[in-house]
Copies of this chain bind each other. A is one copy, B any other.
Amino acid sequence: MSTYEFPDLSPMLRPRSVAVIGAVPELHRAGGRPIPFSIAGGFQGALYAVNPRRTEIDGRPCYASLADLPETPDLAVITVRDSLASEALRDCARQKVPAVVMFTAGFREAGEAGAILEQELIEIAEAHGIVLCGPNCIGVVNRHTGLMASFASSLQIGELPPGPVGFVSQSGMFVSLAIVEQVERRLGVGTLVSVGNEAGIEIADVIAHYAKDPEIKVIASYMEGARDGRKLSHALAMARAAGKRVVILKVGRSKESARAAQSHTGSLAGDYRVYRSTFAANGVIEAEGLEEFFDLIEAAVHVPAVAPASDAPPRIAVFGNSGGLGVLVADKVRQSGLALAEFSEATQGALREHLPPFIHPVNPVDLALQHLEAPHVLPRYLDALLADPGVEGILAIFGMYRPKTLEFAHAILDARANSSKPFVFACPHTSAEFTNCLSDGGVPVFGTPERAIRALRSLFRRPATGGVAPQLSPAARERLHGLVASHAGRTTLSEGEGMQLIEALEIPVGRIALAEDSDAAVRIAAGAGGPAVLKVESRDLPHKTEAGAVALGLEGADRVREAHDRILAAARMHRPDAAIDGVAVHRMVPESRELLLGVRHDPAFGPVALVGAGGTAAEVLDDVALMPAPVTDKQAEDMIRSLRTFPLLNGARSSTPSDVRAAAAALSALSTLVEAFPQIAEIEVNPLFVAAEGDGVVAGDVLAILNPDVPASR
């Protein structure tokens, strides 16, 4: 994998001095905010107002231009209108200002003319090594230094206690919402960066910075898309390695919403499924909506992540004051990828011993109302729940519970102190006092069971599935190089040529040989050791079944001969001008399952490996896994196991399990091909026949598309 250089964001996030270009005295205008907001925030560095039409603002001098300042500021905030913005940036370049935040809108998001203007900004920033944030952004905030280089109205809501969250967003609104949400949830305000159109720095740069920032514990991002998915992946890996939690709300998942993102910040979305697998591989916590986004941030701030005990859904214990809420929770636990724990004998014994006889010692535990009046009993069975090896986490759900004292909350925190198992509360309509006591003690409290369950789920994090990326062997590389070079300038390969690529990757192919006439076909089929398949070979017939150019399950010389002549005639009738190489003889793979393997090109991530259920089902069921190529055998196996139809492959019902390991090895091998040979734009093996465990796989058909513009050299 390539390595990336991430810019140093200190001048932007920890400037000693800030100039506001286009400063005005009106607080309701964007240019009127950064200086008074930063003063209110306690920023200790120098703040300079720049505006040729004024000499002072609010009692401090206003300079006509950057050149007039007593020093070169670390950070310039450009708030002028679109037609003046590039000149202001040029001015910063002349004065060697290292970092610029640009509020100004009207660029790429506004259409073609704006895109041209934005290209100018990009070129100026690149030429002078300026760290440029924006344009079309709401600015940056660093509560730890008091820097408020932003016009977000929510900075005026009142006291903003400092907090451990590093926030980065393509949407300015989400920065505003984050400030309010984090304050209301008592998480404090840490650092916030609105990257807007990303003409300069992008989300990945900010994540990489947060990974190294000791004041940031949790990284959160609203993301429409990444220009370079692999760079994003690299930044996420850095964050993970630094022990930081990352929560992402990825929007623009569908075609329609990607179009909306295009007209919002002009971001190219790429295939969401590649983001999803990239996030999973890097331990990112993904949010599904606005409230859940902030819920998961809250949970990440309060509770350390744990590894689940196994590949199965983490098992949790549920207890509360309502049977009805317990039943609802039991449904939601399952839907969210958790499971209800089966209590051990010891736990059941403890519950029987310490709870009244009419309370069943089963999960969810429905405590009697009366019992809540005796919170001193709680630790006796809570210790048992926390000690049960079959219990990986705890959800307590108390509806309408407004205790007169906090004794119950303290009893929970005491028990919790001896365990690292995640513990989350759901309390519809409780008191703020109860909620705050628990949250401050590391047990987050949410207002509905659904929210609490999703938060609890987010606290289980699987270990990274990294590993050394597979590489082509020098011999395979040599052989492939010859094959690809010989097809220079072409855009498709015949099936036989495609099969040679596949064989060079040491993936077994079903095709035995090409028969020149019916006698040859009979002879080759006789050596197949079972029923044979005949296919007309021609690069002009991509859809052979529709053309009648395929015959299956042939046994005996007569049937092979008859089929040979029949499919050739059908192919010629279907397309008289097709160049036909002959009839290929394949072996049939008995009792096999079918997969689709491929490598495609993603606008954000480049080559991505793909696996899906065989045939047309993959597309119709959207049962496809995608991951940036190349993938390791382990990653390939995880991809196959993530398919909804995996149980069919794994011997659901009475059939025998298929050779998943061989299929994974084939996918991994295929995924190395395109990175090594960018001439291959896309390749698809469909079907890959997967035989019974231990019996391997066979590539049934292959379709490769070449990029004629890429030279054949390495």
- In the bound assembly, the distance between CA atoms of A110 and B334 in angstroms comes to 25
Q: Given the known inter-chain contacts A249-B328, A331-B253, please indicate yes or no for A173 contacting B263, CB distance below 8 A.
A: no
Contact partners of A329 in chain B: CB under 8 A: 257
Instruction: Select one of B222, B249, B253, B330 contacting A257, CB under 8 A.
Output: B330
Assess the B327–A224 pair: CB atoms within 8 A. yes
From residue 122 to 141 of chain A, which have CB atoms closer than 8 A to chain B?
A: none
Q: Given the known inter-chain contacts A254-B330, A263-B366, A400-B176, please indicate yes or no for A170 contacting B620, CB distance below 8 A.
A: no
Assess the B616–A652 pair: CB atoms within 8 A. yes
Contact with B along A418-457 (1 / 0, CB 8 A): 0000000000110000000000000000011110000000
Contact with B along A176-210 (1 / 0, CB 8 A): 11001000000000000000000000000000000
Assess the B334–A450 pair: CB atoms within 8 A. no
Identify the stretch in A230-238, A564-572, A641-649 within 8 Å (CB) of chain B at 4 or more residues.
A641-649
From residue 245 to 295 of chain A, which have CB atoms closer than 8 A to chain B?
A: 249, 251-254, 256-257, 259-261, 263-265, 288-291
- In the bound assembly, the distance between CA atoms of A647 and B111 in angstroms comes to 37
Assess the B153–A400 pair: CB atoms within 8 A. yes
Task: Answer yes or no: A332 CB below 8 A from chain B CBs.
Answer: yes
Residue of B at shortest CB range from A334? Answer: B254
Contact partners of A169 in chain B: CB under 8 A: 324
Task: Answer yes or no: A663 CB below 8 A from chain B CBs.
Answer: no
Q: How far is the CB of A354 from chain B (nearest CB, A)?
A: 18
Contact with B along A205-233 (1 / 0, CB 8 A): 00000000000000000101000000000
Task: Answer yes or no: A551 CB below 8 A from chain B CBs.
Answer: no
Residue of B at shortest CB range from A318? Answer: B260
Task: Answer yes or no: A473 CB below 8 A from chain B CBs.
Answer: no
Contact with B along A604-622 (1 / 0, CB 8 A): 0000000000001101110
Contact with B along A550-577 (1 / 0, CB 8 A): 0001000000000000000000000000
Identify the stretch in A356-364, A375-383, A502-510, A512-520 within 8 Å (CB) of chain B at 4 or more residues.
A356-364
Assess the B448–A323 pair: CB atoms within 8 A. no
Task: Answer yes or no: A60 CB below 8 A from chain B CBs.
Answer: no
Task: Answer yes or no: A106 CB below 8 A from chain B CBs.
Answer: yes
Task: Answer yes or no: A696 CB below 8 A from chain B CBs.
Answer: no
Q: Which of A176, A249, A288, A620 has the most CB of B within 10 A?
A: A620
- In the bound assembly, the distance between CA atoms of A321 and B331 in angstroms comes to 36
Assess the B173–A340 pair: CB atoms within 8 A. no
Contact with B along A58-71 (1 / 0, CB 8 A): 00000000000000
- In the bound assembly, the distance between CA atoms of A616 and B646 in angstroms comes to 12
- In the bound assembly, the distance between CA atoms of A251 and B173 in angstroms comes to 36
From residue 621 to 660 of chain A, which have CB atoms closer than 8 A to chain B?
A: 621, 644-645, 647-648, 652-655
Contact partners of A458 in chain B: CB under 8 A: none
- In the bound assembly, the distance between CA atoms of A447 and B294 in angstroms comes to 13
Instruction: Select one of B260, B330, B449 contacting A256, CB under 8 A.
Output: B330
Assess the A174–B260 pair: CB atoms within 8 A. no
Task: Answer yes or no: A546 CB below 8 A from chain B CBs.
Answer: yes
Task: Answer yes or no: A109 CB below 8 A from chain B CBs.
Answer: yes
Assess the B180–A326 pair: CB atoms within 8 A. no
From residue 534 to 551 of chain A, which have CB atoms closer than 8 A to chain B?
A: 543, 546
Contact with B along A143-180 (1 / 0, CB 8 A): 00000000001100000000000000111111011001
Assess the A428–B619 pair: CB atoms within 8 A. no
Assess the A252–B429 pair: CB atoms within 8 A. no
Instruction: Select one of B257, B340, B647 contacting A334, CB under 8 A.
Output: B257
Instruction: Select one of B265, B327, B428, B647 contacting A260, CB under 8 A.
Output: B327
Instruction: Select one of B324, B428, B652 contacting A222, CB under 8 A.
Output: B324
Contact with B along A388-400 (1 / 0, CB 8 A): 0000000000011
Assess the A648–B616 pair: CB atoms within 8 A. yes
- In the bound assembly, the distance between CA atoms of A621 and B620 in angstroms comes to 13
Q: Which of A106, A291, A330, A645 has the most CB of B within 10 A?
A: A330
Residue of B at shortest CB range from A654? Answer: B546
Assess the A428–B290 pair: CB atoms within 8 A. yes
- In the bound assembly, the distance between CA atoms of A106 and B222 in angstroms comes to 51
Task: Please provide the 4 A-B residue pairs with the shortest distance between their CB atoms, ordered closest to farther.
Answer: A171-B324, A264-B323, A257-B330, A173-B322
Known pairs A180-B400, A249-B328, A254-B330; list 5 more (Cβ under 8 Å).
A172-B322, A264-B324, A264-B327, A265-B323, A290-B448
In the complex, 20 of the A-B residue pairs with CB atoms within 8 angstroms, ordered by the A residue number, are A154-B400, A154-B429, A169-B324, A173-B399, A177-B429, A180-B400, A224-B324, A251-B324, A252-B327, A252-B330, A252-B331, A256-B330, A259-B330, A260-B326, A264-B327, A289-B449, A290-B450, A616-B655, A617-B645, A620-B645
